[in-house]
């Protein structure tokens, strides 16, 4: 069972209270972007077995979007943080590296 703490309202929500929103921190390209950049933005998604950064919405709670870092294989949650964050917080990265020394890191 996946349980994530919503950073907006502080509620620890079970997966059925949440709506997944896909990969977090997608790099968007504006007008004039190359076809390759636009294709990567539209279609290319990471699907790692291990640490992954995702968007979630507290659909049956406060309704707000937030981001989460978790292990897709074990469902271990490393942390959640506000959706307005452009990159994972440094302390979250440090916590992940402490638990997963061989993790290649966030790009
Ligand atoms: Zn909430």
Give the distance (Å) from ligand 1 centre to CA of residue 27. 25
- Global confidence as pTM: 0.90
3-state secondary structure of 24: coil
Give the distance (Å) from ligand 1 centre to CA of residue 22. 18
| β 12-14/51-57 pair status | unpaired
* Predicted local confidence at residue 66, as pLDDT: 98
Band (90; pLDDT cuts 50, 70, 90): very high
Question: Tokens in use for 32?
Answer: 């004039």
Contacts of 99 (CB under 8 A, 6+ apart): 76, 78
* pLDDT of 107 higher than 80: no
Give the distance (Å) from ligand 1 centre to CA of residue 17. 10
Name the one residue in this structure whose structure tokens are 């079970």. 14
- Phi, psi at 53, each rounded to 5°: -105, 125
Give the distance (Å) from ligand 1 centre to CA of residue 38. 32
pLDDT per residue as tens digits for the range 10-46: 999 999 999 999 999 998 888 889 999 999 899 999 9
Q: What does the buried/exposed string (b/e) look like for 22-47 if buried means 16 or more CB atoms within 10 Å of the residue's CB? A: eebeeeeeeeeeeeeeeeeeeeeeee
Q: List the domains of the chain with CATH numbers.
A: 3-26+33-99 (3.30.2270.10)
């Amino acid at each position: 069972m996946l349980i994530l703490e919503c950073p907006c309202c502080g509620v620890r929500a079970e997966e059925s209270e949440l709506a997944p929103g896909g990969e977090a921190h997608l790099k968007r390209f504006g007008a004039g972007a190359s076809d390759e950049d636009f294709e990567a933005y539209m279609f290319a998604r990471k699907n790692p077995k291990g640490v992954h950064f995702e968007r979630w919405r507290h659909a049956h709670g406060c309704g707000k979007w937030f981001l989460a870092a978790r292990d897709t294989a074990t469902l271990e949650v490393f942390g959640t943080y506000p959706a307005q964050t452009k990159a994972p917080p440094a302390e979250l990265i440090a916590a992940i590296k402490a638990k997963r020394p061989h993790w290649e890191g966030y790009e």
